[in-house]
A = this chain, B = another copy of it.
Amino acid sequence: MKTYKAYCIDLDGTVYRGKEPILETVQFIHHLQQHNIEPFFVTNNASQTADQVKAKLKGFGIEAKRSHIMTSAMAAAKYIVLHYPDVSVSMIGESGLREALVENGVKIVESSTDVFVMGIDRDITYEKLAQACLDIRKGAVFISTNSDRAFPSERGLLPGNGAFTTLVQTSTGVDPIFIGKPGGQMLEIIQQEHQFAKEDMVMIGDNYDTDILAGIWFGIDTIHVNSGVTSTEDVLSKPFPPTLTLDNLLEIL
């Protein structure tokens, strides 16, 4: 089995399901760390800060390095700094997105005609959505942390940021720039900040349409695990299958 320098591991459906750890993945991560390899954690979830992700992983017995946690909120903030330096940004989102913007020196305002960035917000209001539509109609660039239409909860599948993004897109007629997987932004930032060669990177996840496609489009190896959204059977029927399909990550130890 080929080994890599950068194991980029999805969280929900790969490391845990909701509040339950996936024990094989936890064991796999411990194995990597025993061999002095610090894995990267790559999540579309923009609601949590890096410290909140770190604390959640610690609850599952995983000591993650804060600098190895990459959320779509952090990638969105870096994308804005790179492409729209020195602008004021309006936003819809939770603490993960707000902190990522502040940490990257982005000025957050109530209303901006420069850039509007959208992440999941469980305290959504009509007024927030109305202001977003007005900003975008006045010309603000429309950035969305991720296109996930739904996410699992103990109650069932709940509406995700992609569904809210569609609301604003439908109302304004303006298409968003999506940052999260299947986009390659998060993987590209990891590559650039740590100077990895692409052949030393692998993307590991349960969801073909986000995790595996992100890796394929970015041009790195991919490993699918059969612990979440997409079944191995479905993955193998795709025109572009992953490098490897596993039931769980213990199979490659």
Contacts and interface: CB of A to CB of B under 8 A. Distances in A.
Interface residues of A, number: 30
Count identical subunits in the complex.
Answer: 2
A121 B126 CA distance: 8
A129 B125 CA distance: 11
Contacts of A163: 167-168, 170-171
B170 A162 contact: yes
A138 B134 CA distance: 35
Nearest to A120: B126
Nearest to A164: B167
A82 interface: no
A222 B233 CA distance: 55
Nearest to A157: B137
A175 to B, nearest CB: 14
5 contacts: A134-B156, A149-B171, A158-B171, A163-B168, A166-B166
